Amino acid sequence: MATSDLTDVLRQTALLRSVPDADLAVLARSSRTRAFRRGQVVCTTGEPGDTLIVVISGRVKVVVRSADGGELTLAAVGPTGTLGEVSVADDGPRSADVETLEDSRLLFLPREQIQDICARVPAAAQALAGSVAATLRRLTDATSDLVFLDLPRRVAKVLLSQPRDDAGVISPHLTQEQLAHQAAGTRQSVNSAMRGFERRGWIGVNGRIVTVRQPEMLAQFAGG
Tens digits of residue pLDDT in 142-191: 889 988 999 999 999 999 999 999 999 998 888 889 999 999 999 999 99
Per-residue pLDDT tens digits for 74-102: 999 999 999 999 999 999 999 999 999 99
What number is the average pLDDT over the span 54-65? 95
pTM: 0.83
CATH class label, 3-146: mainly beta
The CATH-assigned architecture of domain 150-222 is Orthogonal Bundle (1.10)
Which has the closest alpha carbon to 118: 130, 107, 101? 130
Each domain of the chain, given as residue ranges in start order, spans 3-146, 150-222
